[in-house]
Amino acid sequence: MSEQVVTVGRVGKTHGLKGWLRLYSYTEPLDNLLSYQPWLLKKGNDWEPANVEDKQMRGQQLLVKFAGFDVPETARALTNSYIGVTRQTLPELPDGEYYWIDLQGLTVVNTTGIELGKMDHIFDTGANPVMVVEGDKQLLIPYVHDHYVLDIDIDKQLIRVDWELDY
């Protein structure tokens, strides 16, 4: 696949007796995952189209039913598959907001201009997202705007942070 694929979730355990599966959403709010279509699934190294038969939200639980996976025994084969969409299917964001994937590879510098490394990826801890910056050493920097993350300039490929090498 030549288009950039953005991972937006992961398939969890089976739910019930008709092949439904739980989902883990990487979107905010979490039910945005259900609105992004079409889905691609990645179990090994390749992204494959996913034929979603039905989807629903029950409280804070996201559920999906894939076509052709009608019993837990067959649906279980999709557990731990990543859910992706092409970058082009995501809605445009207002100025000053970014998809995490758009920040990957940007140079991270501190307030004194020292280059800390490149932003590799972001993960969510529940309390707040954390940037993984790969440089001379790996740094974990809380992704908290106006506190640690001071400025993002996509055009200059730069993220300015209030962080030191020895933190």
**pLDDT tens digits, residue range 11-56?**
999 998 999 999 999 888 888 898 898 999 998 889 999 999 999 9
**How crowded is the C-beta side of 44, counted as CA atoms within 13 Å?**
2
Question: Phi/psi at 98 (nearest 5 deg)?
Answer: -140, 150
**Average pLDDT for 110-124:** 94
Tens digits of residue pLDDT in 95-104: 888 888 899 9
Pairing of strands 107-110, 158-161: parallel
Both ends of the chain: CA-CA distance in Å? 40
**Alpha-carbon gap, residue 13 to 5, rounded angstroms:** 23
* Structural domains present in the chain: 5-89 (2.40.30.60), 100-161 (2.30.30.240)
1 pLDDT higher than 60: no
Name 110's bridge partners: 161
Residue 93, pLDDT above cutoff 90 = no
Greater confidence (127 vs 77) lies with 77
- Measure the CA–CA gap between 134 and 120, rounded to whole angstroms: 6
The Cα diameter of the chain in Å comes to 58
Q: What is the pLDDT of residue 38?
A: 94
